[in-house]
Structures are given as C-alpha cells and as structure tokens.
C-alpha cells in the first residue's frame, strides 16, 4: 500500500514553495498540510501580538512607570491569548489519516472520524466565506448520511497540482484498503 500512496505524495511534494499544499507519507498513513490560509490569517494577529508584547515589556520594565497591576495582568492575558490563537492558526489546515481514522485540524476546532464512520470522500468546488470566491475543498461523507465539509483544507480552483483531488484519491485508497497498519 505504501508504494501506491507514494505516487500521490511525490507528485505534490515537488509542486512548489513553502506555502503550497503538501501531502506526505507518515509511518502509519498520510499527512496533508494546507498552510496558506493559516499563514495569511496569522499575519494580522501576529502584528497585534508583537505590539501587545512590547506594551507588556514596557509595563514591567519602564523605570518611571507607576504600579498598575491591572494593566500588567491585562497585557499578559492579551499576549497569552493572541499567542495561543496564532499557534492554533498556524497548526490549522492539517489532515492526518492513520490507523485510528481521519483527523482534521481547522482554525477553531479539530474533527475526528473513525474509518468505520466514513462512507467516502469527495472534492467539492463551492464558494467559501464572505468573499464568495469558489474554492476546492474536501468533503467527508459519513455512514450516518451526514457530510462534513473541511473548508480549512482548500485550494484555488486554478491549483495546477490538483492537491485536493489527489488527497481525495489517496484517502479513498486508504479507506478501501482498510486502516493502515503501524
């Protein structure tokens, strides 16, 4: 099975730069990463985090600063919250398929599905978000009849590497072959 999946991984791995979608084989399955949305979304909170960090350092280190404990606590909380959000955004856009099932990490939540709960995968082209721009994304069909749209794993309709289509093919292969053995 690893030999069959290696074609999917090699095709995508050589497709481009740091922010391109990437499909890698891991010892017990595969890992897909779509870093572009996370990198774009993390830019503005990162700037705010740097400003808040500077204010926090100033609040603690400035020699002529009056003792304002509430301000210091608020600044520390802001730095921690923005840091956690940035970390979550950077880690978003990841799908891991292993022997336990498929795990997808989006910006605000992680979804998990066991192989026995999955009926199939599909590539969908539809408008995502407030902009209404059509994007390719992964849809998971569950055995219960519901569908789960993983819009955090998306690509442009003009994506030359067809990364979502290749991901669907690799996941369908894994699903039909049975759970990967570790």
Going by pLDDT thresholds of 50, 70 and 90, the confidence category of residue 1 is: very low
Asked whether the predicted pLDDT for residue 179 surpasses 80, the reply is no
Task: Give CA–CA dist 51/133, Å, rounded.
Answer: 32
The answer to whether the CB of 164 falls within 8 A of the CB of 123 is yes
- pLDDT of 80 reads 87
DSSP letter (8 states) at residue 77: H
- pLDDT of 17 reads 52
Going by pLDDT thresholds of 50, 70 and 90, the confidence category of residue 182 is: low
Question: How many CA atoms are closer than 13 Å to the CA of 150, on its beta-carbon side?
Answer: 31
Going by pLDDT thresholds of 50, 70 and 90, the confidence category of residue 162 is: confident
Task: Give CA–CA dist 22/6, Å, rounded.
Answer: 13
Per residue in 44-74, pLDDT tens?
777 888 888 888 788 777 766 667 777 778 8
Task: Give CA–CA dist 161/168, Å, rounded.
Answer: 13
Of 9-13, 108-112, 140-144, give the range with the top mean pLDDT: 140-144
Q: Which residues face 96 on adjacent strands?
A: 31, 103
Q: Any idea which of 14-28, 65-79, 99-113, 121-135 has the lowest mean pLDDT?
A: 14-28
Structure tokens at 9: 């991984």
The distance of Cα 111 from the centroid of its chain, to the nearest Å, equals 11
- pLDDT of 120 reads 93
Asked whether the predicted pLDDT for residue 169 surpasses 50, the reply is yes
Asked whether the predicted pLDDT for residue 33 surpasses 70, the reply is yes
**Sign of the C-alpha dihedral computed for residues 15, 85, 99 and 148 taken in this order:** negative
Q: Which residues face 139 on adjacent strands?
A: 122, 149
Per residue in 130-148, pLDDT tens?
778 788 888 999 999 999 9
């Amino acid at each position: 099975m690893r030999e069959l999946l290696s074609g999917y991984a090699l095709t995508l791995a050589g497709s481009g730069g740091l922010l391109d979608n990437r499909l890698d084989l891991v010892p017990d399955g595969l890992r897909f990463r779509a870093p572009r949305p996370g990198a774009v979304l993390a830019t503005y909170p990162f700037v705010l985090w740097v400003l808040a960090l500077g204010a926090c350092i100033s609040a603690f280190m400035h020699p002529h600063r009056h003792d304002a404990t509430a301000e210091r606590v608020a600044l520390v909380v802001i730095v921690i919250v923005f840091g956690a959000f940035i970390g979550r955004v950077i880690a978003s856009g990841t799908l891991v398929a292993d022997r336990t099932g498929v795990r997808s990490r989006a910006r605000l939540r992680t979804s998990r599905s066991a192989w026995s709960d999955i009926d199939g995968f599909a590539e969908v082209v539809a408008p995502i978000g407030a902009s209404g721009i059509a994007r390719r994304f992964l849809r998971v069909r569950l055995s219960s009849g519901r569908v789960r749209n993983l819009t955090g794993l998306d690509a442009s309709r003009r994506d030359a590497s067809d990364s979502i289509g290749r991901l669907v093919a690799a996941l369908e292969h894994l699903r039909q072959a049975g759970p990967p053995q570790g």
